[in-house]
Amino acid sequence: MSILSSMTSSSKTLSVVQRESFFDDSFFKDSWEDFDKAVQSILDKFDDTGLKVDTGSRSKCRDVYSRIRSSKIDEDLYASQALQITEKDGKFQAVMDVKDFNPSDLQVKVVDDRVVVEGKYEKKSEDGSSMSSKSFYKEFTMPPSADIDHVATALSKDGVLTVKAPKREGDAAAKPAGALTSSSSASSSSFSSSSHQSSSSSTSMSSTKKVSMSSSSSSSFSSSALSSNMGMDSLEDMTKDMKDRLVFSHENVNLKLPQ
């Protein structure tokens, strides 16, 4: 499904509640561990000092993460972004760093069974003569049992966004081990990333560059039964790999600012 077609579906824009700093506000307490995991994943990818995030090292690790993010964001909006998705007992939760995106341009929507997060990243050149602008787009598919009518989102003042959907009331309780009925129907997803770059003394574009890629790091869910030969090890692997379906897209436009 293309981004355009998904956005023409029935959608609802959510109100983003403004909160205090992420680790100082107990409202976010059940997301602290998830964000620590998100930061750890970026440290594991880009830092070679072996830092491990825990309550004692959290501040230092976040400082290192921030430096990594600052140095990498102009290369790729997403590769260095702390992001963690959790689906458990029919509930959905996403926590992500959006500190570098303009809060006034940050928007969260529910589109059918998906959560869409959009924003804008802008940066002036060192001499202040030009502006770089990139659009930010992420899409998450929620599990069938999540209550899409009660999706809630909040933004800490230090730029951590949470999106949560409770389990829909009336759904059957989770089945005990040995009576599992939900499975991953397709362990694949599409990642698309487009970049349009231009630089001129007017607002006209002079060049366009597009890049697309694909990966298999997410899964969608259905109510079909697990095959008889899928044991608990397979289920654990599936849960470990369980991620949101992400569609990444951004545009990069350099405009000459008036003197």
Model confidence pLDDT, tens digit, residues 54-86: 999 999 999 999 999 999 999 999 999 999 999
Which has more pLDDT, 100 or 10?
A: 100
Does the pLDDT at position 155 exceed 80?
yes
pTM score > 0.85 for this model? Answer: no
Quick one: pLDDT at residue 249? 43
What would the pLDDT profile of 159-172 be if each residue is shown by its tens digit?
A: 999 999 999 887 65
Domain 3-168+181-256 has CATH 2.60.40.790: yes
Is the distance from CB of 133 to CB of 120 less than 8 angstroms? yes
Sequence-separated (6 or more) residues with CB below 8 Å from residue 134:
77, 120, 121, 122, 250, 251, 252, 253
Which has more pLDDT, 83 or 179?
A: 83
Query: How far is it, in rounded angstroms, from Cα 74 to Cα 251?
Result: 12
* DSSP character at residue 68: H
Instruction: Give the lowest-confidence range in 46-50, 185-189, 239-243.
Output: 185-189
Q: What are the beta bridge partners of residue 92? A: 87, 165
Domain locations in the chain as residue ranges: 3-168+181-256
Quick one: pLDDT at residue 124? 82
Give the sheet arrangement for strand 11-14, strand by strand.
11-14, 107-111, 114-124, 130-141, 252-256
